[in-house]
Amino acid sequence: MSNIKKNNAFNINIKDIVRLEDINIKNSFSDIESLKFLDDPDLFKMNVDLHCKYVPNNFLFLDGKLQFFSKKICGRCLEEFEHILSLDFTEDLKFSDSDTFINIESLINENYWLNVPYVYVCKDDCKGLCDICGTNLNKKQCSCDKEKKSYFFKDIFDKINKN
């Protein structure tokens, strides 16, 4: 590992774990500086609740939960909302005799980006915007004639099918 930062909150002290056999890492981070490694400027908080166990022959077994809090824009209604991503985190880490700590930032980062949704949606039943007038349909109904639109598409489909 090249860019090792000392006093980093995500450094796991190997000697402590070997000595104690297992430790719990429970922490909440809400300062931008300590969340920077995640490379998502929308994040404002992260909770870590991990159990870290020493396994003979230079292994650490990590297991627990991570929670990420971010402000996102809903892909349907375009409103800002608070998104919470909860992840189960399980990793086996090998270390060498010369290591004093293992930094788990890149592992957390990897897990985060593998699990972020393709599209952020404020709630499962978000009604989105009317695609005719742009009204946020979660807040009020509009009087647009949705039928007209489906006829419009029906005409197109009919034409395509004829050709």
How near is the Cβ of 49 to Zn ion at its closest, in Å? 29
Residue 23 within binding range of Zn ion, rule CB under 5 A? no
Amino acid at 1: M
* CB closer to Zn ion out of 23 and 137: 137
Residue 126 contacts Zn ion per CB under 5 A: yes
Give yes or no for residue 51 binding Zn ion (CB under 5 A).
no
Which of 69, 84, 73 shows the shortest CA–CA distance to 121? 73
d(CA 83, CA 86): 10
Per CB under 5 A, the list member of 77, 85, 104, 129 interacting with Zn ion is 77
The dihedral over CA atoms of 6, 12, 18, 19, expressed in degrees to the nearest 10, equals: 70
Segment interacting with Zn ion, rule: CB under 5 A, options 14-22, 33-41, 50-58, 71-79: 71-79
Least Cβ distance, residue 132 to Zn ion (angstroms): 5
137 makes contact with Zn ion (CB under 5 A) = no
Q: Cα separation of 96 and 21, whole Å?
A: 17
